[in-house]
Chains A and B, each alone.
Chain A
């Protein structure tokens, strides 16, 4: 289901994934912003604390510095780095020192490394720059980052008495406890925000899957409908009363309607079949009944007067005629089709023989014939059929056309070679056919004239079907009719023989 590009992914995947990514992304961004703010706030706090502490220590040590009370000066500083009294709220002082105006150490918390009475600056270039910066400071200030030890905040406070510099206090605090705190806060913030994101995105995923699942059912349902497979369709349960829910409800209604229509269609088709069968039986009964009535009368007369030779001579031919008629009807229904169906290839140029026959059929009627069959174009074409059958198809259509134009008209017959079939058209300018007539046109015994048996078009239709061809009628009342017959030029095989027997 999931393919290479996200455009092909299922909504069931895309929607939860989008929600999850967005929730996690925003949680991460917010978390990082909070962490960044926390870090800068804590750094600023440490800086201001360090500066405030340095000012206080400088003030406390000023008297001792003026009186060169070295031990008191040291005692002012050493409390700062007494680790025993250290609490998280204290400023984490690394070291502190009092210098005189020439950079000589007066007191240093790390006395063993920075002896009293010697310059603070040694060969270490950073310390030299720091002392130079400190001796130039005119007010309490922090060392700029470039001359500060990393991970420390470094403050200098000049001690001034009556506008005269008397010394400096240097105080350095560690950023490490703050960084540890910031890291701890960062973990807390990240854990909390990502945990919250996990919960909210899980909820989002569940909600979105619940919302999308009817769409998937709908898609499957629509696919089943398009396959024509709507009988066993299960209804898509509407989850909510939102747009998707309404869609599901309408889909269910549509499926019910389709199922009902299909049932109606089947009922209608069954009724049609039964009605057609009834009409077929009625037509057959009529065709058989008419001669039977005359024959029964003849037989009754002959039974009453069996010795009347005149009567026998007169009635026996009548009985023969009746029997012939019944036989012809049955023959038309069965025999015609059965005997000739073992067909051999037929050369289509045999059609050219038909023109004379059709003109004979027209005889004296005021009907003009337009004959559009070019003998050359049909040479070499063969179809799996016999010439009499092709003759019969065209003659039946032409005869009907002539019959519906007693007052005169135009008849056009054409044959054209197409890519893999031959198309024969028979058109008249007669009264045309309404939709109901077109529907029943090819049923056996359907006729619009008193003389016809109603079997001609049925036989035509059956022959064409057996050849693997088709016939369509294009007509409207008052606008004539055009019958188009299409016969394949490569008929793969003939329909099995038992077909006509079933029709009987």
Chain B
């Protein structure tokens, strides 16, 4: 037990940043590698090390988290089988794949429900009150595959009759909801769209940064970014992982980890929870396609 903790503590930090091939080979024998995306504050290393330790304890397999810059990087790792599971956004989950190699495992419970919103934020001193006020300004998206940080604001713009690609003077990706909050707080962007969960976590742990921003609109609720696993994951491993996660809410030992993650636990949810995201993405991307085909 002690030896494994040391092993994980020592190797974890290096491993999550750049997992060597030899390590991947070793872990594939019995380890579990879970990809993290910008739907969480990946920089909270301490939280995720504790989370990994907890899951290692509960599943009996050495669990490690793997970080990459974008959602797409993590999806590539999943597709190639370099990781077995990932905490991804709703949109990458609902994105059509052929053949489908992923399946929904659990969804986190934040403030009692597996739901979250997309928040439109502006600098605290800004007078803008709606997304249409940001026309011709600088906007920060989190990730091109993010529901709350990309699809929702673009769909809103498209619904209002504008081409999202030409609406802003300049738009850029931060590849992280937390970074979007920083970009808006520092005035690099005049507005940004973020995940309400990340915003709440930052408000709890970094109130000074959040104080530089102001929420001007909230979207409807969507299914919380889920944890997905490869379909080829052995059923025993899958159920042990699912049980470990869904058991956290009732496990006093999981308390500190959940508190650091600002979650209430994990729950098994129906895939239909994510249908609205599919709908939003269609609206957001149709416009782009239509613009692209215009002569």
Residues 168-179 of chain B, each 1 if its beta carbon lies under 8 Å from chain A, else 0: 011011110001
- Is B276 positioned at the interface, with any CB of A under 8 Å from its CB? no
CA distance A74 to B138 in the complex (A): 13
- Is B40 positioned at the interface, with any CB of A under 8 Å from its CB? no
**Smallest CB-CB separation from B172: which chain A residue?**
A70
CA distance A116 to B188 in the complex (A): 7
- Is B249 positioned at the interface, with any CB of A under 8 Å from its CB? no
B188 x A111 contact (CB < 8 A): yes
**Smallest CB-CB separation from A109: which chain B residue?**
B186
* A contact residues around B172 at 8 Å (CB): 68-71, 116
- Is B123 positioned at the interface, with any CB of A under 8 Å from its CB? yes
A71 with B138, Cβ < 8 A, contacts A112-B186, A112-B187 known? no
- Is A443 positioned at the interface, with any CB of B under 8 Å from its CB? no
- Is B183 positioned at the interface, with any CB of A under 8 Å from its CB? yes
B169 x A117 contact (CB < 8 A): yes
B138 x A115 contact (CB < 8 A): yes
- Which residues of B157-176 are within 8 A (CB) of A? 169-170, 172-175
* A contact residues around B189 at 8 Å (CB): 116
CA distance A70 to B168 in the complex (A): 14
Task: Give the interface centre of A69, A78, A107, A116 by most chain B CB atoms within 10 Å.
Answer: A116
* B contact residues around A74 at 8 Å (CB): 183, 188
B174 x A71 contact (CB < 8 A): yes
- Size range of the chain A interface in the assembly: 10 to 19
Task: Give the interface centre of A71, A78, A117 by most chain B CB atoms within 10 Å.
Answer: A71
- Which residues of A101-145 are within 8 A (CB) of B? 107, 111-112, 115-118
* B contact residues around A107 at 8 Å (CB): 188
B170 x A116 contact (CB < 8 A): yes
B186 x A111 contact (CB < 8 A): yes
B187 x A111 contact (CB < 8 A): yes
* A contact residues around B174 at 8 Å (CB): 71
- Is B155 positioned at the interface, with any CB of A under 8 Å from its CB? no
**Smallest CB-CB separation from A68: which chain B residue?**
B172
A117 x B170 contact (CB < 8 A): yes
A71 x B170 contact (CB < 8 A): no
* A contact residues around B170 at 8 Å (CB): 70, 116-117
- Which residues of A67-101 are within 8 A (CB) of B? 68-71, 74, 78
A and B contact pairs by CB, cutoff 8 A, 30 listed: A68-B172, A69-B173, A70-B170, A70-B172, A71-B140, A71-B172, A71-B173, A71-B174, A71-B175, A71-B179, A71-B183, A71-B188, A74-B183, A111-B186, A111-B187, A111-B188, A112-B123, A112-B186, A112-B187, A115-B138, A115-B190, A116-B138, A116-B170, A116-B172, A116-B188, A116-B189, A117-B138, A117-B169, A117-B170, A118-B169
Q: Which residues of A contact B (CB under 8 A)?
A: 68-71, 74, 78, 107, 111-112, 115-118
Nearest 6 CB-CB pairs, A to B? A112-B187, A70-B172, A117-B170, A111-B188, A71-B174, A111-B187
Q: Which residues of B contact A (CB under 8 A)?
A: 123, 138, 140, 169-170, 172-175, 179, 183, 186-190
